[in-house]
Amino acid sequence: MRRNSSSPTPPSTSARGRAAERRVAWYYRLRGYRILARNVRAGGVELDLIVRRGQRLVFCEVKLKEGLRFGDPLEAVDSSKRERLRRGAQAWLIANRQLGDLDVTFEVAAVRPGGIERVADALV
């Protein structure tokens, strides 16, 4: 049986994740942040977004959930994930010593069908 070529295949999970990260990057840019890095590996950890505005340096973990049946995106950042993100941020800062004097914070950007929720100090 032939498949109807007019019906597009749904985007992969990784493609949807990349689209969510681009959306969050624009969210920050529209608020005056400069994107320093995207999907960078440091300390064996992938850091989704690193942004800066003035003296503020933000490590942002992007989480996408498409619908209630998949749970809340913020629930996906557990204590183990928080520790990995701290380790990755520390390794990145060691490699980028010129930025070590900035005020560092961690945020989670929860991408939902209705918009983006940004949670500051997410690793506290």
Are the beta carbons of 24 and 60 closer than 8 angstroms? yes
User: What confidence tens digit (pLDDT) does each residue in 25-79 have?
Assistant: 999 999 999 999 999 999 999 999 999 999 999 999 998 876 566 556 566 667 8
- Alpha helices, DSSP H only, in the chain? 13-30, 79-95
pTM for this entry: 0.83
- Sketch out the chain's domains with CATH numbers: 13-120 (3.40.1350.10)
What does the alpha-carbon distance between residue 62 and residue 81 come to, in Å, rounded to a whole number? 12
User: What confidence tens digit (pLDDT) does each residue in 71-108 have?
Assistant: 565 666 678 888 899 999 999 999 999 998 999 999 99
Residue in the structure block whose two tokens are 């619908």: 67
Are the beta carbons of 78 and 34 closer than 8 angstroms? no
Are the beta carbons of 51 and 36 closer than 8 angstroms? yes
What does the alpha-carbon distance between residue 67 and residue 89 come to, in Å, rounded to a whole number? 30
